[in-house]
Amino acid sequence: MPDEDRTMLFRNATLATMQAGRPYGLVPGGALLIDAGRIVWVGQDHDLPSGYDGPEENLDGRVVTPALIDCHTHVVHGGNRSAEFEMRLQGASYEEVARAGGGILSTVKATREASEETLLRGALRFVDALIAEGVCTLEVKSGYGLDIDTELKMLRVARSIARVRDIRIKTSFLGAHAVPPEFKGNTLAYVSEICIPGLIAAQAEGLVDAVDAFCEGIAFSPEELEPLFAQARALDLPVKLHAEQLSQLGGTRLAARFGALSADHLEYATAEDARALAQSGSVAVLLPGAFYTLRETRLPPVEAFRAEGVPMALATDCNPGSSPMASLLLTMNMGCTLFRLTPEEALAGVTRHAARALGLDDCGVIAAGTRADLAIWDIEHPAELAYRIGYNPLWRRIFGGTA
């Protein structure tokens, strides 16, 4: 656990602060002073205020970035879907598998049957892989329970991750992920009898940081989600939305109307949707792992997001179906190669903009006053993080000021 009283001075670092002003907010020959888990001074080595006599370390020019943030994951789930992977390789589409009762619903069955211990053990496989890449903040969704008890079980497991690992967890209630078999053909009843009371119960237990939903032909329409988002607002909880992944349904505009923290996926979003996100100040969370896995061809409107000034985040979407990926470094590479983001946009997407997609303002940049959540890399330039494939140059991860 972090030692709150420890001070540490890092010198001779290449700081990618990710603050606005210059590319990567780069500070060569940088120094960084940490005290009580926070960054208290950042600047050029030769400007260091005198008087510090605590421990210090020379980083030999290594690159220091804010710790990475994975702002969209489903790491808590039972079972796996490798059989479905094979079906899709033989030509079945993701939607066909889902309509045949596979897909999300097969993970629901396995998750309902799993104990909290089993779910935690399963999630930690992916959490540990992400920690090894310098991740210090992780969003985790429910959504494979689809009954009140199992949704709460998933969220409890998500919260428990932060008790057994040095990582910050933000949870999203995703009761509206799919309609379970017992409510087939009765979507509105599912929303009013399970999603809304489940959300209220989860909030009462302190298990929810945001409310998410899957707005899609195989899931929920914007109209069906209205009452859920109204309930989120009544509970003072921010919303997020899986929107415009496989078709254009108007989910992005629903999210914008509710001032969402983020709209996620967005392959089928339009320039008008980009404008709506700009107006609501929402983040566009791009998920290239799902695009890659489903062999999608329709690209998210990156150019429109840039033109409208919509911040773009990148996340793994780590889930057993459409994105069985537990690497944020690979996500950055895919964001560049598949979506044509620049390496700088990719890094902002897993730091500064990912923090904003979670409603956090104390991490995601290197600045005085923010948490000392840092990643130190054995590289010469931050562009290298998005450039290599299947190679992890993390040298040290610092969580709350402690390695």
Q: In the bound complex, what is the minimum distance in angstroms from residue 309's beta carbon to Fe ion?
A: 25
Q: In the bound complex, what is the minimum distance in angstroms from residue 283's beta carbon to ligand DI6?
A: 17
Q: Nearer Cβ to ligand DI6, position 141 or 371?
A: 141
Give the pair of three-digit tokens for residue 367: 């600045």
Q: Which residues contact 204 (CB under 8 A, 6 or more apart)?
A: none
Q: In the bound complex, what is the minimum distance in angstroms from residue 64's beta carbon to Fe ion?
A: 30
Q: Nearer Cβ to ligand DI6, position 12 or 80?
A: 80
**Nearest partner of 151 among 215, 97, 196, judged by Cα:** 196
317 binds Fe ion (CB under 5 A): yes
**Nearest residue by C-beta to Fe ion?**
317
Cα–Cα distances in angstroms (integers) from residue 176 to residues 163, 196, 199, 224, 243, in the given order: 27, 9, 10, 10, 13
323 makes contact, choosing from ligand DI6, Fe ion, none, with CB < 5 to 8 Å by partner type, with ligand DI6
Q: How far, in Å, CA of 322 to CA of 335, rounded?
A: 16
**Segment interacting with Fe ion (CB under 5 A) among 243-251, 299-307, 313-321, 350-358:** 313-321
Q: Nearer Cβ to Fe ion, position 2 or 79?
A: 79
Region for 73 from its dihedrals, namely left if φ exceeds 0, alpha if ψ lies in -120 to 50, beta otherwise = beta
Q: Which residues bind ligand DI6 (CB under 6 A)?
A: 103-104, 107, 177, 214, 242, 245, 290, 317, 319-323
Q: Nearer Cβ to ligand DI6, position 288 or 301?
A: 288
Q: Nearer Cβ to ligand DI6, position 41 or 85?
A: 85
Residue the block writes with tokens 């939607």: 95
**Segment interacting with Fe ion (CB under 5 A) among 112-120, 151-159, 191-199, 309-317:** 309-317
CB 136 within 8 A of CB 67: yes
Query: How many separate helices (H) and strands (E) can be counted in the chain?
Result: 16, 15
293 makes contact, choosing from ligand DI6, Fe ion, none, with CB < 5 to 8 Å by partner type, with none
Q: Nearer Cβ to ligand DI6, position 107 or 171?
A: 107
84 makes contact, choosing from Fe ion, ligand DI6, none, with CB < 5 to 8 Å by partner type, with none
Give the pair of three-digit tokens for residue 15: 């700081």
DSSP 270-314: -HHHHHHHHHHT-EEEE-HHHHHHTT--PPP-HHHHHHHT--EEE
Q: In the bound complex, what is the minimum distance in angstroms from residue 353's beta carbon to ligand DI6?
A: 19
CA-CA-CA-CA torsion sign (237, 242, 248, 252): positive
**Nearest residue by C-beta to ligand DI6?**
321
Residues that bind Fe ion (CB under 5 A): 317
